[in-house]
């Protein structure tokens, strides 16, 4: 039996575990298809409709989920259907706010891809709509559901590296696809692509297949490496540390290599002050001359914790309690006296020696998928009405922080941010 989506003003009711949930996809490109394939693996989920602006994606959706799904260019046809409980939104960023709020206003729960916002005003609209309609909204930074991040969070909270003072995070790429040079299909035209609908509120320009299929390269639709990649890093840092965001940000950036008509940088570095007492640096380099990599180093008073690849590793050193002694600048007689005095007070074999407590590594299981756990967390919330791991407030704080990098780069200035109230200062 399928489930009826609650009307807008109905109180949200839990859905029994043996009822199935009917979902639809809005924006059936790379990530939307990926998310929906994952959702279809969650027991009790059925994909019943897809909306997209390119015929090729609609046709492929039927190949994936059957000829009987509703496939349409107009997502309002999906929102009008009472038998659809939830939607996955995989559109480019400039549609996230409109599609999410339209869906919640139509009574649907929403899984919306990251970054939650394209411009700052999107944040409050999404948060307020979620509150007003009592809908579940999960933002799609899947790593926050990862067992690896959960382990890192637990280790940090247990004091494994002492007091956190610095985080370094990076997301580097070194390939054409990594730099968003996505392949334009051979039949791309105004016949196969609904260009006016795709543009939405973006500036009206004649059909441009590169803009349609490689939209991350222009800020009218995306928000550069900050919105695309930094947001994953901020989601991770906020999840692991429990912090809501920085109070100040500054960034520098440049277009160094991919001078292909894009209006966003391919190299960006940012620095952020967190009121919890740590500083953060992030970077993305699309011309890194090496392998593609993504990771974090959390530095604390008693060691470091690294997230990268398939796990978390921990290197711990005991913090020196003694002050250290500098004695070899002086006469030998004084040196001897100083060392003896020091040893008497701090009886150790070497005055500056530290002992490595050892390295520990926590590795995720071979077939582990954080995308599955993140989608499962959403589907469970749709059933139980319990909160998701990454709600609209979390999503705004992560994306709002990421976009500070663009604001700072464009202004050439340090930017203030109120992380509690999610406001530019
Ligand atoms: N969580 C992740 O790891 C991850 C990875 C990749 C992309 N993403 C996010 O997913 C989103 C989509 O990225 P992508 O790479 O899949 O882009 P894409 O271009 O491959 O797909 C976007 C699709 O949305 C469709 N679309 C545009 N406007 C629409 C509208 N009004 N109604 C219906 N369909 C519409 C387009 O026709 C296109 O097929 C982005 O926000 C991106 O940041 C997240």
Ligand 1 contacts CB of residue 92 (under 6 A): yes
Ligand 1 contacts CB of residue 31 (under 6 A): yes
Cα 25 to ligand 1 centroid, rounded to whole Å: 11
User: Are both 173 and 90 inside the same structural domain?
Assistant: no
CATH number at residue 109: 3.40.50.720
Ligand 1 contacts CB of residue 75 (under 6 A): yes
116-119 contacts at long range (C-beta below 8 A, 24 or more positions apart): 116/392, 116/395, 116/396, 116/398, 116/399, 117/93, 117/395, 117/396, 117/399, 117/400, 117/403, 118/93, 118/94, 118/221, 118/222, 118/223, 118/227
Q: Structurally, how many domains does the chain consist of?
A: 2
* pLDDT score, position 322: 78
Closest ligand 1 atom number to CA of residue 51: 33
6 within domain boundaries: no
User: Are both 111 and 216 inside the same structural domain?
Assistant: no
Q: Give the residue-averaged pLDDT of 7-25.
A: 69
Nearest CA to ligand 1 atom 6: 31
Ligand 1 contacts CB of residue 192 (under 6 A): no
User: Are both 37 and 135 inside the same structural domain?
Assistant: yes
Per-chain mean pLDDT for the chain: 93
In testing the pocket of ligand 1, which one of 25, 27, 76 has its CB within 8 Å of the most ligand atoms?
27
Closest ligand 1 atom number to CA of residue 142: 1
User: Are both 126 and 188 inside the same structural domain?
Assistant: no
* pLDDT score, position 352: 43
Beta bridge partners of 167: 280, 298
More confident residue, 155 or 317: 155
pLDDT in tens, 120-142: 999 999 999 999 999 999 999 99
Q: What is the pTM of this model?
A: 0.92
3-state DSSP helix/strand/coil % of the chain, to nearest 5 = 35, 20, 45
2 within domain boundaries: no
User: Are both 151 and 243 inside the same structural domain?
Assistant: yes
User: Are both 95 and 169 inside the same structural domain?
Assistant: no
336 within domain boundaries: no
User: Does residue 118 register a pLDDT over 70?
Assistant: yes
91 within domain boundaries: yes
User: Are both 129 and 236 inside the same structural domain?
Assistant: no
Cα 94 to ligand 1 centroid, rounded to whole Å: 10
206 within domain boundaries: yes
* pLDDT score, position 291: 81
Ligand 1 contacts CB of residue 374 (under 6 A): no
* pLDDT score, position 348: 63
User: Are both 258 and 170 inside the same structural domain?
Assistant: yes
Cα 96 to ligand 1 centroid, rounded to whole Å: 9
Nearest CA to ligand 1 atom 28: 198
Cα 120 to ligand 1 centroid, rounded to whole Å: 19
User: Does residue 1 register a pLDDT over 80?
Assistant: no
pLDDT tier at 309, thresholds 50, 70, 90: confident
Ligand 1 contacts CB of residue 195 (under 6 A): no
- DSSP class of residue 388 equals P
* pLDDT score, position 17: 61
Closest ligand 1 atom number to CA of residue 74: 32
CA–CA gap between residue 301 and residue 289 (Å, rounded): 33
Nearest CA to ligand 1 atom 9: 113
Distance of CA 227 to the CA centre of its chain: 9
User: Are both 210 and 279 inside the same structural domain?
Assistant: yes
CA–CA gap between residue 238 and residue 164 (Å, rounded): 13
User: Are both 251 and 196 inside the same structural domain?
Assistant: yes
Q: Which residues contact 286 (CB under 8 A, 6 or more apart)?
A: 172, 173, 174, 178, 179, 225, 257, 258, 266, 267
Ligand 1 contacts CB of residue 369 (under 6 A): no
In testing the pocket of ligand 1, which one of 29, 371, 373 has its CB within 8 Å of the most ligand atoms?
29
* pLDDT score, position 351: 38
Nearest to 178 by CA among 214, 130, 134, 207: 214
61 within domain boundaries: yes
239 within domain boundaries: yes
CATH number at residue 297: 3.30.360.10
pLDDT in tens, 343-402: 888 876 443 444 455 678 999 999 999 999 999 999 999 999 999 999 999 999 999 999
Domain of residue 31 covers 21-144+374-391
User: Are both 212 and 83 inside the same structural domain?
Assistant: no
User: Are both 407 and 314 inside the same structural domain?
Assistant: yes
């Amino acid at each position: 039996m399928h489930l009826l989506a609650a009307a807008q003003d109905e109180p949200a009711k839990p859905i029994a575990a043996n009822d199935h949930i009917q979902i639809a996809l809005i924006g059936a490109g790379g990530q939307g298809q990926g998310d929906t394939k994952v959702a279809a693996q969650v027991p009790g989920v059925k994909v019943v409709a897809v909306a997209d602006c390119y015929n090729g994606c609609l046709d492929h959706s039927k190949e994936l989920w059957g000829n009987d799904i509703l496939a349409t260019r107009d997502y309002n046809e999906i929102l009008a259907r009472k038998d659809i409980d939830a939607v996955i939104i995989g559109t480019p960023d400039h549609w996230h706010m409109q599609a999410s709020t339209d869906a919640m206003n139509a009574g649907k729960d929403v899984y919306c891809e990251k970054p939650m916002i394209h411009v700052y005003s999107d944040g409050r609209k999404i948060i307020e709509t979620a509150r007003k309609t009592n809908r579940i909204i999960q933002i799609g930074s899947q790593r926050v559901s990862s067992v690896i991040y959960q382990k890192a969070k637990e280790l940090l909270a247990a004091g494994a590296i002492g007091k956190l003072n610095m985080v370094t995070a990076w997301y580097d790429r070194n390939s054409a696809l990594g730099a968003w040079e996505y392949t334009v299909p051979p039949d791309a035209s105004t016949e196969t692509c609904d260009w006016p609908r795709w543009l939405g509120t973006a500036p009206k320009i004649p059909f441009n297949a590169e803009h349609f299929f490689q939209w991350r390269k222009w800020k009218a639709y995306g928000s550069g490496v900050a919105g695309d990649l930094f947001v994953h890093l901020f989601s991770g840092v906020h999840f692991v540390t429990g912090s809501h965001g920085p109070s100040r940000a500054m960034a520098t950036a440049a277009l160094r290599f991919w001078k292909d008509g894009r209006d966003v940088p391919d190299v960006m570095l940012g620095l952020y002050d967190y009121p919890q007492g740590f500083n953060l640096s992030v970077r993305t380099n699309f011309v890194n001359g090496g392998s593609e990599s993504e990771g974090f180093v959390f530095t604390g008073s008693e060691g470091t914790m690294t997230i990268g690849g398939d796990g978390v590793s921990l290197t711990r050193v005991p913090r020196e309690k003694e002050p250290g002694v500098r004695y070899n600048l002086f006469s030998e007689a004084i040196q001897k006296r100083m060392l003896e005095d020091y040893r008497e007070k701090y009886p150790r074999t070497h005055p500056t020696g530290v002992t490595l407590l050892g390295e520990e590594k926590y590795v995720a299981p071979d077939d582990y998928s954080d995308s599955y756990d993140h989608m499962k967390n959403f589907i469970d919330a749709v059933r139980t009405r319990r909160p998701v791991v990454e709600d609209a407030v979390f999503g705004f704080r992560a994306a709002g922080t990421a976009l500070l990098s663009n604001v700072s780069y464009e202004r050439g200035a340090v930017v203030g941010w109120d992380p509690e109230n999610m406001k530019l200062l």
